[in-house]
Chains A and B, each alone.
Chain A
Amino acid sequence: MSNLIEQFVVEARELLQGISEQILALETQPDNTEAMHELFRLVHTLKGNSGLVEAPAMTRVLHVAEDLIGAVRDGRQVFSRELADTLLDTFDFVACLVDELEREGTVQASYDHEANRYIQQLQALGGNVPETEATPSQTQAETSAETVSIETLPVEAQGVARRCLQAGHTLCWIVYEPEADCFFKGEDPFLLVRQTPALCWGRIVSRKPWPPLDALDPYHCVLRFELLSEAPLPELEAHFRYVADQVQLCTVVAAQPTAPADTATEADGAPVQVSAEAIDQILQAQRAVLDSPVDEGFDGRLQAVGAALSGLLQAMGRGDECTALEAALSEARQVRNPEPVRRWMEQTFAMQENQTAPETNQQALPESAAESASPAATEARPAGQRSRSSSTLRVSQERIDALMSLVGELVVAKNGLAYLASKVQRDYELSELSREIKMHYAVIHRIAEELQDAVMQVRMLPFAHVFQRFPRLVRDLARRLGKEVRLEIIGEDTEADKRIIESLADPLIHLIRNSLDHGIESPEERRACGKPETGLLRIRTRQEGDRIWIEVSDDGRGIDPEKIKRKAYEKELLDEAALERIGPTEVLQLLFRPGFSTASSVSDISGRGVGLDVVKRTVEQLGGNVRLESEPGKGTRFILSLPLSMMVTQVLIVEVAGQLYGLPVEAVVETVRIAPEDIQRIQHQEALVLRNQVIPVESLQYRLNGCKPSIEAADTLAVVVLQLDTTRVGLLVDDFRETMDVVLKPLPGVLAGLSVYAGSALLGDGTVLMILNPQTLFASCRSNSGSEAFASLTM
């Protein structure tokens, strides 16, 4: 796929998003003129961009849509709900075309038929304002002012023009001066000219005399095309739409006594009346630019001065003097001295200065003031353009990822220094050196932390990124289900890692569908319960420390725990004993089990039996967890908690049989040291009573290699209490070590199959730390320990 298309696709998606937001905003407030203007601007931009890629169907549809929106903006059309529907449908179709473009690199002609359907729909809505009248009337008003008398045409053209006018045809005089660097933009002006509709005369002239061949730059366009065409003005405007700023279109009229003699200059130059004061200011500015020292920016400045001066000459109707200016410029370029240009300015504008000097005396005298102000004025435009183009940078994800893994390596290498410092102290007893290493370590540590923060910031995206499509989703779903729903989004500025934000989109959409479909009742039902007819769906995010909390809540009918219990029993997810024992909060978590769906009927919105378990799995893959709270009759609330970034994981290091392992800190509830006699045996299972709660205890060593350590021999036992879903499990280890920030690396190759490990990390001394995955560690525990008591407890 070409770069252009790639960029277009990205921008088009952004524009489409903005368009749909504005349409939704207008639906609630049809007289929001600001949104209207914004909508028009977005559609206009998208239409313009679409002309750059091969998508004629898209451009056509957008053109009609733009007309319709323009009509609404100008008050010739009312913004109705139907209009919003049609527009949304249309832009969905455009989004399809964008997808197609991304896949295929072009939009097939097979879409033309569909495009026509949308165009007809749009035109039907704007029925009373036929499309042909909507825009050309405006453009005609703009351009009809420009007419050119037949006498001012070149002699060769006059005969043709007269014949055409006598035959009663409208005739258009076209002057096309391609930009000098147009070849670098892939343009072929001659081809465009040859394809001009209804061309009846044309000639090609050079804008300046040809230089000797060895000085000729073939890629610097100096041609001017002068054409006569019988095609209607709008058609010609469409033909030259991409080079509109380089083309002048004038309607040719028969000799008019009123036509002033100087229309000739109007035809090839801009007919602007330039005030003497303005000229003076421009000249002042150029002089100031020329006065700046000669350095590597000299050529660029000279070019800018040249452009400004030739523009000035054109504006003053003295375009013929450009040649002399060019000569002065090239001379200045050769000698790297602005003197020739300065001289030329003095000669050419001597008269103006004399005239204006008395008027602008006060301004002209303080040279320094003018000097300080004018470079700013001349540089303001290029500088502004530069800052706009560099304020955002599109960088591919791979590069950021590469940067991130480099930062990770730096963090590891940095930890090596701390290790080295203690080694120098311990083994060589060079405390001075050790201190210095530690000092350097502190500096590198600070920089590494900042670097890590900076890279994390780059990857941070606000939640608005995923939330922005929700208003549309909720609106469409609510209308389909015949429910009234108000969506409230709080905290869309909260930021999190790009990967987290992006992976959350699907789970959140599922939760929203779930709330709309199962949670919020129909308006009648709500009225019967004494609730307001419009249901409320609230999405709230907030950041707490290094974790993100997301809450999706509704004020619907809530979830009945009894119903869930029955369902779970029917589906054999619970046995009778568990049915009795299970608490209301735990019952709700059953909804996250695969294959569990309470919807009595399968709808296309939610309730396919897949869903909540996928939500849970996705969130857990991101290192988070999800909880469900519900109060029957009052509403339901999903609470998701996620790490802010996936770059650094905090682990608790534990020691087992001389080997170190890491446990993710978020799974650790507490660490306790107990006496061996505190461990009780319930059938085959060791357990521990901690603050009146029975916690099954499992030895990590047994889990990993199958040998049971003799617990009776030790004085104290170290137990890490882990939180697994709703239950707690104690993990018996030999000793605790410190907690540490590590960069988690997934296990490579065949090792990836070892689900007991979440990954590995490098320690400061170069050893590898294996990070355990508590979930799978105990899942394997359940499957092969054969301990029923434990299995039912952890359920």
Chain B
Amino acid sequence: MPVEFRKRSVRLVDHVSVEEAEPLLSWLQDHPRAQVNLKDCRHLHTACLQVLLAAQPRIRVMPSDPDLRRWLESCGFHEPS
């Protein structure tokens, strides 16, 4: 599963496909204070990226993929310092 929903966080792994956008959105709606772990995420489908941009959740770990990390940083996402 590219998306693992936990109690208080969601872990996005590998390639997150377009089908995950809807569940991700509703989960983020139900868990407004949740955190997102992107460590092992290598690509987010545009639809999922949109969901993250709109929901602006807190990021627990930024992706280890340098390219994706740069992109997300340019969108204003940061690891909590």
How many Å from the CB of B14 to the closest CB on chain A?
13
Judged by a CB distance under 8 angstroms, whether A204 is at the interface is: yes
Say whether A202 faces chain B, with CB atoms less than 8 Å apart: yes
**Range of interface residues on B (Cβ < 8 Å):** 20 to 34
Bound complex: CA A214 to CA B48 (Å) = 15
Tell me if A206 counts as interface (CB < 8 A to partner B).
yes
Interface residues of A in 243-273 (CB under 8 A from B): none
- Report A-chain residues with C-beta under 8 Å of the C-beta of B24: 218
In the complex, chain B residues whose CB is within 8 Å of the CB of A187: 46
Q: Are B54 and A210 interface neighbours, CB within 8 A?
A: yes
User: Which residues 11-40 of B sit at the A interface, judged by CB distance below 8 A?
Assistant: 18, 21-22, 24-25, 28-29
Pairwise interchain contact A223-B54, C-beta atoms closer than 8 A? no
Question: In the complex, which residues of chain A have a beta carbon less than 8 angstroms from the beta carbon of B49?
Answer: 190, 204, 223
Binary flags per residue of A200-232, CB closer than 8 Å to B gives 1, else 0: 001110100011011010110111000000000
Q: Which residues of A contact B45 (CB under 8 A)?
A: 183, 188, 190-191
Residue of A nearest to B22 (CB): A218
Q: Is B59 an interface residue (CB 8 A)?
A: no
What residues of chain B lie closer than 8 Å to A202, measured between beta carbons? 71, 74
A188 x B18 contact (CB < 8 A): yes
Chain A residues within an 8 Å CB radius of B74: 202-204
Q: Which of B21, B28, B44, B68 contacts A213 (CB 8 A)?
A: B28
Closest to A225 in B: B46
Out of A191, A194, A214, A221, which one reaches B50, CB within 8 Å? A221
User: Are the C-beta atoms of A218 and B53 separated by less than 8 Å?
Assistant: no
Q: Is the CB of B51 within 8 A of A218?
A: yes
Q: Are B47 and A221 in contact (CB under 8 A)?
A: yes
B 49-81 binary contact with A (CB < 8 Å = 1; else 0): 111011100000000000110010011000000
Contacts of B29 in A (CB 8 A): 213-214
* Bound-state Cα–Cα, A188 to B25, Å: 18
CB-CB contacts below 8 Å: A377-419 with B: none
Who on chain A is nearest to B49 by CB? A190
- Contact yes or no, A213 B25, CB < 8 A: yes
Question: Given A210-B54, A214-B29, A223-B49 in contact, is the A204-B71 Cβ separation under 8 Å?
Answer: yes
Distance in angstroms from B43 CB to nearest chain A CB is: 6
**CB closest residue in chain B, given A182:** B46
**A188 vs B43: C-alpha distance when bound (angstroms):** 10
**A213 cross-chain contacts in B, Cβ below 8 A:** 25, 28-29, 54-55
**A189, CB-defined interface residue at 8 Å:** yes
Shortest Cβ distance from A203 into B: residue: B74
Contact between chains at A218 and B25 (CB < 8 Å) = yes
Knowing A183-B18, A194-B67, A204-B75 touch, does A216 contact B54 (C-beta < 8 A)?
yes
Rounded to whole Å, the gap between the CB of A629 and the closest CB of chain B is 67
Cβ of A643 under 8 Å from chain B: no
Instruction: Name the contact of B44 in the complex, choosing from A178, A190, A210, A222 (C-beta under 8 A).
Output: A190
A206 & B53 in contact (Cβ 8 Å cutoff): yes
B20 to chain A, nearest CB (A): 9
Question: What's the minimum C-beta distance from A178 to chain B, rounded to whole angstroms?
Answer: 7
B28: chain A residues at CB < 8 Å are 213
Q: Closest CB of chain A to B35's CB: distance in Å? A: 16
Q: Are A178 and B54 in contact (CB under 8 A)?
A: no
Is B46 touching A189 in the complex (CB atoms < 8 A)? yes
**Shortest Cβ distance from B11 into chain A, in angstroms?**
19
How far apart sit A204 and B21, CA to CA, in the bound complex (Å)?
18
Residues from chain A with a CB closer than 8 A to the CB of B75 are 203-204
Q: Are B43 and A183 in contact (CB under 8 A)?
A: no
A202 to B75, CA, bound (A): 10
Question: Which of A187, A190, A191 gathers most chain B CB within 10 Å?
Answer: A190
CA distance A189 to B44 in the complex (A): 11
CB-contact partner of A190 in B22, B25, B46, B51, under 8 A: B46
**B21 close to A219 (CB less than 8 A):** yes
- Encoded as 1 (CB less than 8 Å from any B CB) or 0, chain A from 489 to 519 comes to 0000000000000000000000000000000
Question: Which residues of A are found within 8 Å of B48, using beta-carbon distances?
Answer: 218
Q: Provided the pairs A210-B53, A210-B54, A213-B54 are in contact, do residues A191 and B25 lie with their beta carbons within 8 angstroms? A: no
Tell whether, in the assembled complex, residue B54 and residue A211 are in contact, meaning their CB atoms are under 8 Å apart. Answer: yes
Partner of A223, one of B22, B43, B46, B67: B46
Residues of B within 8 Å of A189, CB to CB, are: 46
Choose from B47, B68, B71 the contact partner of A218 (Cβ within 8 Å): B47
Inter-chain CA distance A214–B26, complex, in Å, is 8
The answer to whether B46 and A191 touch across the interface, beta carbons within 8 angstroms, is yes
Give complex CA distance A522, B25 in Å.
Answer: 78
Closest B-chain residue to A204, C-beta based?
B75
Q: Which chain B positions have C-beta within 8 A of A191?
A: 43, 45-46
Q: How far is A204 from B54 in the complex, measured between Cα atoms in Å?
A: 12
Provide the residues of chain A in CB contact with B67, threshold 8 Å: 194
Do the beta carbons of A219 and B71 come within 8 Å of each other?
no
Chain A positions 172 through 187: 1 when the CB is less than 8 Å from some CB of chain B, otherwise 0: 0000001000110001
Known: A182-B46, A188-B46, A194-B71. 14 other contacts (CB 8 A): A183-B46, A190-B49, A191-B45, A191-B46, A194-B43, A194-B67, A202-B74, A204-B49, A204-B75, A206-B54, A211-B54, A218-B48, A218-B51, A223-B49
Interface residues of A (CB under 8 A from B): 178, 182-183, 187-191, 194, 202-204, 206, 210-211, 213-214, 216, 218-219, 221-223
By Cβ-Cβ distance, the 7 closest A-B pairs, closest first, are: A218-B21, A190-B46, A210-B54, A189-B46, A218-B25, A203-B74, A213-B29
| CB pairs A–B below 8 angstroms (14 shown) | A178-B46, A183-B18, A187-B46, A190-B44, A190-B45, A194-B68, A204-B53, A204-B71, A204-B75, A216-B25, A216-B51, A218-B21, A218-B22, A221-B46
